[in-house]
Amino acid sequence: MSAQKDGWVSSLVFFLFCASSIPNCGSASLQQEPSPQHYFSGLEAGKTSLAFFTPSVSPGAQPFLEQIESSAEALQDYGVSVVKVNCPQKDVSRYCGKENALRKAFLFRGNRLIREFPTDALFDVNSIVANVLFALLFNEVKYIETLADLENIENVLKGKSNMVFAYVPATGTPEHRAVMEAAFVYGTIHQFVLTTEAALLKATSHDDPDVSSAWLLFCHCQQATDPAQPCRRTALAQPLTLLNIHRHLKLMGAPLVTEVAEDPEKISTVHLQLGLPLVFILSQRETYEADRRTAEFVAWQLLGKAGVALLSRDLVDLNVLHRSNVALKTPEEGMPIQYLVLEDTDEVITLVEDKNKVKQIQEDEQEEEEEDEDEKENNNQDIQDDQVVEAVSRDKKRELPLEQILVLTEENFHSSLSEAARTVVLFYASWEAVSLAVLRSYSEVAALLKGTPGVLLSRVNCWDWPGLCSQENVTQFPTMRVYKEGQQSVTYGGMWGTEELSSFILLSQVSCPLKLATMDEAEGYLRGEFPPKLSSHHHTSLLGVFSTATSKAMEAFEEAGNILSGHVRMGMYFEDDALALSRKYSVSPPALLLTRSGSQSVESISLSKHSVQDMVQMIRYELLDIFPEITVPNLPQYLQLGKPFLILFSAGDISQMESEEMLKLAKGRAQQAFVACWLNLKKTPVGHGILRTYFSTAPSLPVLLWVNLHAGGQVFKFPSEQSITEMNILAWLEKLQAGLEIPSSTLSEEDWKPPLPAYDFLQMMEPSVPELSPHPGDTPAQHPPQSPGGDTAGGDTATREEPSQESTAEGVGSPGRGLRGTAPRLAARDKQGKRHSEL
């Protein structure tokens, strides 16, 4: 225990030793001199050094020493070494002996003393560097106190060189240091002038300047010719830092207007390198002189904000509008050059300044940017994003051919129903988009079925006759019903497409199930020849065969027929010789016989379940194909099975081979756990959209996919190098089940959220109607805290009320209101007003 403790202590001691010795041994810039003699003997001519003398034991000057030490590195950049000279005890020489000399630092060039600084002027690194450089650059940086001094210097410089005039509130500040450091570099090129006089600042800047912040002017005296006029000045707009001054001086040094004779895309100037835009004035030979003047004028305006180049169109083959006169190149990589047609130079200037503003906002205020985005989004709120509504309103001018469709009203509804054997009624609302979309299909149905005897197509506009619609229990728009005399009406529950609607209407003509009287009829029915009314339409025919002993099944079948009426062709045969029929197809009643459309073969199914629901479901299931082509209208039938899809996407019809293999696969496992199907991209082009969602690059067609529509949503792609055969697919499926394949894609799990936000009227109302929020504490975010603390309660309410009044006034007087006024102004949608406030 104690040994461990000892070790701990010794390592701590070691650490302390290291830490205290680092400044001495780690930093090469702070020299230590054992004695004054040693120091002075070592001074080289031309070398500058800052020395301070310290008795070997002197705890008082400790903070100052720290600052000195840390400035050593900075000063080294300017060739100044910082030396700490240890005064031996009892030394009474010039620097060590006097008490007050120990409170000073001394600047030597060679062995000549240039300045001595009291330690309280060297309070931090900035002040040390500033003061040392100020002393060294005595000639390069003129310190002045009056306006006359400034004018004198200016006059002397005119025609010779430029001047940098800086105001700093005090010496030793970071700004002072920045100016001095800049002067160190540029002092030989430009004349630097420094002042700390606020009066001078006021005399040189336009509006009321802030005397507490530094200020730098670049005075273009080199080009100045008129002795009476002061030199042109360009102020530094950014805070005074070394980098900004450097940038500013660099820009000032660049040529005012660059003449360019090559592709602007390739041009790069100092401005672009410094992150500023470059404005091209597009010039032609004929107007060169004027353009040159314009460019110079603009350049002066934009000095420090953007570069200006004069681009001669005659020399460069530009693929832009002839009218374009200005181009703007921004420093962002890859941004195309904008070519513009501008009227005057102000526009050029606003263009650049706004760009900068935008950029600044983007850089500085992330939050505001988000707000901007919100606003942008809000602007889209009034753009229709409902495809059906938009399509219908774009189509509203077209007059629908509705002559074939009888208009029913409260007055003629019941009388009309009794006129025809079957009346089809479409209940709709004339303002509702889905209704109107269906009405269009309905009018096509009317044209298709024109002249079909016994069918009367009619419509009821529930907006005109709400009483009739509620009496007929229509709660949804649209609703289509087939009314038969003396029977219950049948409500349509299928796709709202022209084909599906007409097929339903046609099938509804025949009772469902149709009672067949003779064997001939039954046979004819299975062949699709009976009843003759429907012979021209291809439908799967379903025939229920019953004997007298199976009346219960027969009742259920009849009930199922009512439900499926219009969707399925159903017949029933229950004559005495039903047995003969069942024997022929080797079934025993109750049984179903089924002929698929386009096929001659008769399938037989025995009926084991006798509930209506089961029978409906069974019939629906039996109607499904084994290997169907999936289309937009038939997909839901297969979706309802709730199984994954094994789907072959094909560019056109699938080949015989693929078809056979897939069919084998589908049949192979009668109780398949999946739906084997295919999709013809030619017939169902939206399939391209599916593939595009699944794959980033187009797969070669045909492509076989396993889609877990209901569980997990994974999509797997059958390897394209393998041929589509039953064996290969089965092997692949096994691998899938075993989890050995990686899904190509997964279906989005996202919820269907509102596409865009709503107008937040609650928020809009709150400022003007504060009573809406009974407890102001509930919504703290409403009033941004304006003056935290210091404000009396009265003052607080005053500041709160003010914005609310303002916003009310704005609201009432806002030009957006009323310009499209309904009553007072007939000139309707005048969007001008909306923009006014934006501009």
With respect to another protein, which residue has the nearer C-beta, 94 or 710? 710
115: left (phi over 0), alpha (psi -120 to 50) or beta: beta
Min CB(829)–another protein separation in Å:
8
Tokens read off for 96 = 């060590």
Q: How far is the CB of 566 from another protein (least distance, A)?
A: 12
Kindly provide the b/e burial profile for residues 466-496, where b requires at least 16 CB atoms within 10 angstroms of the residue's own CB.
eebbeebebeebbbbbbbbeeeeebebeebb
Tell me how far, at minimum, the Cβ of 752 lies from another protein, in Å.
4
Whether residue 288 contacts residue 312, with contact meaning beta carbons closer than 8 Å, is answered with yes
Nearer to another protein, 390 or 801 (CB): 390
Q: Tokens 């379903």 appear where? A: 542
> How many C-beta atoms lie closer than 10 Å to residue 756's C-beta?
12
Alpha helix segments (H runs only) across 43-159: 62-76, 94-97, 125-136, 147-157
Closest distance of CB 328 from another protein, Å: 20
Q: How buried is residue 130: exposed, middle or buried, by Cβ count under 10 Å (0-12/13-18/19+)?
A: buried
With a CB cutoff of 8 Å and minimum separation 6, the contacts of 517 are 575
Nearer of residues 34 and 467 to another protein, judged by Cβ = 467
Q: Residue 415 Cβ, how far from another protein at the closest point, in Å?
A: 16
Is the Cβ–Cβ distance between 108 and 49 less than 8 Å? yes
**Residue (249 or 715) nearer to another protein, CB:** 715
Closer of 443 and 547 to another protein (Cβ): 443
Between residues 69 and 629, which has the closer beta carbon with respect to another protein?
Answer: 629
Beta bridge partners of residue 765, listed in sequence order: none
Strands 191-195 and 163-167: parallel
CA atoms within a 13 Å half-sphere pointing along the CA-CB vector of 262? 5
Taking the complex as a whole, how short is the minimal distance between the CB of residue 619 and another protein, in angstroms?
A: 14
**In degrees, to the nearest 5, what angle opens at C-alpha 690 toward C-alphas 687 and 694?**
140
Least Å from the CB of residue 418 to another protein: 20
Q: Which is nearer to another protein, 58 or 470 (CB)?
A: 470
Q: Which residues on adjacent β-strands are paired with residue 115?
A: 107
Structure tokens at 623: 């109607």
* Backbone conformation region of residue 607, classed left if phi is above 0, alpha if psi is from -120 to 50, else beta: beta
User: Which single residue is written with the structure tokens 């979706």?
Assistant: 639
Task: Evaluate whether 586 touches 604 at the Cβ level (below 8 Å).
Answer: yes
Least CB distance to another protein at residue 170 (A):
54
Provide the minimum distance between the beta carbon of 293 and another protein in the complex, in angstroms, as a whole number: 38
Residue 275 or 467 with smaller CB distance to another protein: 467
CB of 493 to another protein, least distance (A): 6
Q: Quick one: tokens of 180?
A: 């001095």
d(CA 231, CA 163): 9
Helices marked H in 91-144? 94-97, 125-136
Residue 162 or 479: the one with the smaller Cβ distance to another protein is 479
Cβ of 702: how many Cβ atoms within 10 Å? 19
The minimum distance between CB 243 and another protein, in angstroms, equals 36
Backbone dihedral angles phi then psi of residue 479, each to the nearest 5 degrees: -135, 135
Q: In this complex, which beta carbon is closest to another protein, that of residue 826 or of residue 839?
A: 826
Which token pair is 712? Answer: 């997990």
Considering the complex, state which of residue 192 and residue 465 has its C-beta at the smaller distance from another protein.
465
In the complex with another protein, the residue whose CB is nearer, 63 or 466, is 466
Nearest distance, CB of residue 559 and another protein, angstroms: 20
Burial of 394 (0-12, 13-18, 19+ CB in 10 A): exposed
